[in-house]
Amino acid sequence: MSALSRRGLSRRGQNLVAGAAVVLLTVLSLLAVGLLGTPAGPGPGGGPGGRPAAGCSVPALTGTQINVTLTNMGGPVMRPRNGMMGGAMRLRADRGTVTHGTVSFLVTNAGSISHEMVILPLPDNQVPGTRPVGPDGTIDESGSLGEVSGSCSEGSGEGILPGTSGWVTLTLPPGRYELACNLPGHYEAGMYTQLTVP
């Protein structure tokens, strides 16, 4: 085999290794922000597969259960000058539509910093993620139907700590709702989603 052929194989091998490294880094990045999906849905009163949700003992929740996962890419929250965060954080619900009536939200913080979730009515002409953000980095919570901001507890608290869950049960009338994290900078970072209740 000539020196040229050996050099060609060596370059091809280097390209394969470099390509494999790129694929591995991409998969790890997607896992870090929760884009590859989540395990099977939770069993009654627990997290995925019926296990306690993120280290918490969750009571049996009534009505239709919506499982919400809160994630971030890690590191401190910084607000860039242009006001856009580029989606460094996510709030994901396991369904986008639920029948009106009794609805329980099980909210699990899979991130590395504290998060919360508020349930806000969404007017017909408004798009999720477009609420005005104040100088303190939060949105107006007027009209909120409820929130989940306690670790291993129901309703409000001081924030859902990493690796824990919180929950709330509400009666939702028909309408459009926005689920959002309203800790400073989190809404701008991409922590919102829409829920439709026919």
Which residue range(s) make up the domain with 143?
39-198
118 plus 59 within the same structural domain: yes
What letter does residue 61 receive in the DSSP assignment? Answer: P
Instruction: Choose the weakest-confidence range: 5-19, 25-39, 75-89, 119-133.
Output: 25-39
The DSSP element (H or E) to which 92 belongs, if any, is: strand 89-93
Judged against a pLDDT cut of 90, whether residue 2 lies above it is answered with no
Q: What is the total count of domains within the chain?
A: 2
pLDDT at 73 (0 to 100): 83
| Average pLDDT value for residue range 60-82 | 76
* Residue whose tokens read 């939770």: 42
Of 87, 96, 106, which is closest to residue 32 (Cα–Cα)? 87
C-alpha triplet 162, 112, 116: angle, nearest 5°: 55
Instruction: Choose the weakest-confidence range: 14-18, 88-92, 117-121, 184-188.
Output: 14-18
* Residue whose tokens read 């994630």: 71
67 plus 109 within the same structural domain: yes
Q: Is the overall model pTM greater than 0.85, yes or no? A: no
Token digits for 63? 């009505």
Judged against a pLDDT cut of 60, whether residue 6 lies above it is answered with no
| Amino acid letter, 94 | D
20 plus 103 within the same structural domain: no
What is the rounded CA–CA span in Å between residue 70 and residue 86? 16
14 plus 55 within the same structural domain: no
120 plus 176 within the same structural domain: yes
CATH of the domain at 62: 2.60.40.420
Judged against a pLDDT cut of 80, whether residue 116 lies above it is answered with yes
94 plus 151 within the same structural domain: yes
